[in-house]
Amino acid sequence: MGFEMGIESVGIEWQTDTKPVDYQDAVDAMERRVAAIRARGSAELVWLLEHPPLYTAGTSARAEDLLDPYRLPIYRTGRGGRYTYHGPGQRIAYVMLDLRQRGKDARCYVHQLEEWVILTLSCFGVTGERREGRVGIWVQRPGAREEKVAAIGVRVRQWVTYHGLALNVDPELDHYRGIVPCGIADHGVTSLAHLGIDATMAEVDLALRETFLAAFADAHICAAGVVER
């Protein structure tokens, strides 16, 4: 009860979909909500969902990073970044926040998204880390191999955010073979399941909710020097 009261106190609505949501339908819904938040007619929103298997191409997507154009549907999207995969077993968190109330600092916002993933992973005993020059959250595997466990891609329109992050819980990792994920060919992709963590989506959702305020309360984690990269 205490946590629910905390969420209400900052005026953020949470929505969870239990069935995969069509990608274009999700984008259209985000566009409408962003417009409503900009007009100060709606609360900020964190939307937890999954998508059917698909690839998305961000604003920096390169043709050579699409290795198998016939494997899955491809959607062009306005978020930052290159190609990424979405599908069942991956927890998508679309985050619609009003940065006019949060310091108008897009770099800080991305840092907070990263912090949110790191704190969530820690609930399952996994150490997630940032890497210089690489967006997303990474884990160190035996033999010095680094693998990506969460992707981040955001868009900010008139200081209201949308899109967000994708945390691999137990997706079909073979689908990543159709792209160079986020344009990074030298490192692998992993998931909680691949790391030996038997976590349900409901458990991941609970961890996301429990760590949200610690990651996004004020901008203390973006103090001078913290986000210099």
Half-sphere exposure at residue 1, Cβ-oriented, CA atoms within 13 angstroms: 0
d(C-alpha 8, C-alpha 38), whole Å: 19
Annotation marks residue 123 as catalytic:
no
**Cβ contact 108:222 at 8 Å:** yes
What does residue 93 show for φ and ψ, rounded to 5 degrees?
-125, 105
State the amino acid at position 209 in one-letter form: R
- Whole-number Å distance between alpha carbons of 69 and 102: 40
Which of the residues are catalytic?
Answer: 182
